[in-house]
A and B are shown apart, each in its own frame.
Chain A
Amino acid sequence: GNSVTQMEGPVTLSEEAFLTINCTYTATGYPSLFWYVQYPGEGLQLLLKATKADDKGSNKGFEATYRKETTSFHLEKGSVQVSDSAVYFCALSSRGGSARQLTFGSGTQLTVLP
C-alpha cells in the first residue's frame, strides 16, 4: 500500500535560516506528490505539488523536487520567516482508482523564532 514517511519534528529555526524537511514515500505506480501546510487555527492548505518525476513544485519561496530514484520529495526554503511557523504535511495521491485519496505523512511542526 501507499505510505509517506516524514522527518520527525518539532523543528525550531531562527529567522532567515535554511529549511529542509525530508519526505520519502512508497507507492504503486507513479503518484503525484504534495506538501500541505496547516497554520495555527486554520485548515490544511496546498503549498505545492509535483505530478511527475523531476518536476519541481514551488510556492512562497518553498521548493520540492520529485525524485523517483530516491522516492523522495524534500521541502526546502532558503530563508524562513516567523510567518512560516506551521505544521507541514507531505502527501501523495496514486494515479490509479477514482478517489484520488491523499495519503499523508505524520507532519512536521516548524517554529521560526525572530
Chain B
Amino acid sequence: DTGVSQDPRHKITKRGQNVTFRCDPISEHNRLYWYRQTLGQGPEFLTYFQNEAQLEKSRLLSDRFSAERPKGSFSTLEIQRTEQGDSAMYLCASSSGTGGYYNEQFFGPGTRLTVL
C-alpha cells in the first residue's frame, strides 16, 4: 500500500497527558498537511509543510500543539496537556508541489483522539 498512513488509528488519553501522532506521506510528495475533524464537521486546516519547512499554521493550532517534519518525509503532531476539546479525528494529507497550481491532496485514514 503506497497511500498516506497514520499511526496510531485510535488514541485514548486522560486530560493533561501529552500525545504524539505520526503521518507517513506518499513517498514522492513534498507537501504535507494536518487537518482536524470534529464530529459532524468537515476537516479544518491546522498546518502545512513543504519539505521540512513549516510554512503555514492555522490560529486553531494553539501553543499546546507542535508539528515537525524533520527530514522532509514523515511528520509528527504533538499535543501537550490535552484537553477534552482536543477530542477529534486528526487527518494527514500529502501532495506533490509544482509551482502555484493545485495538486490533489491524498488523505490518510486519520487518528481518532479521545480525551477523557
- Which residue numbers of A lie inside 8 Å of B, CB to CB? 4, 6, 32, 36, 41-46, 49, 51, 89, 91, 93, 95, 97-107
Decide: A89 near B50, CB < 8 A? Known: A44-B91, A46-B104.
no
- For chain B, the count of residues having a C-beta within 8 Å of the partner chain is 28
Decide: A107 near B110, CB < 8 A? Known: A32-B102, A46-B104, A99-B56.
no
Q: Are A103 and B100 in contact (CB under 8 A)?
A: no
Residues on A with beta carbons closer than 8 Å to the beta carbon of B45: 99, 101-103
Q: Are A102 and B43 in contact (CB under 8 A)?
A: yes
A88 to B106 alpha-carbon distance, docked (Å): 16
Q: Are A91 and B42 in contact (CB under 8 A)?
A: yes
Decide: A98 near B50, CB < 8 A? Known: A42-B109, A51-B102, A93-B102.
yes
> Cβ of B107 < 8 Å from any Cβ of A?
yes
Q: List 19 A-B contacts (CB under 8 A).
A: A42-B109, A43-B3, A43-B4, A43-B107, A43-B109, A43-B110, A44-B43, A91-B42, A95-B100, A98-B55, A98-B56, A99-B48, A99-B55, A100-B31, A100-B105, A101-B45, A102-B35, A104-B43, A107-B40
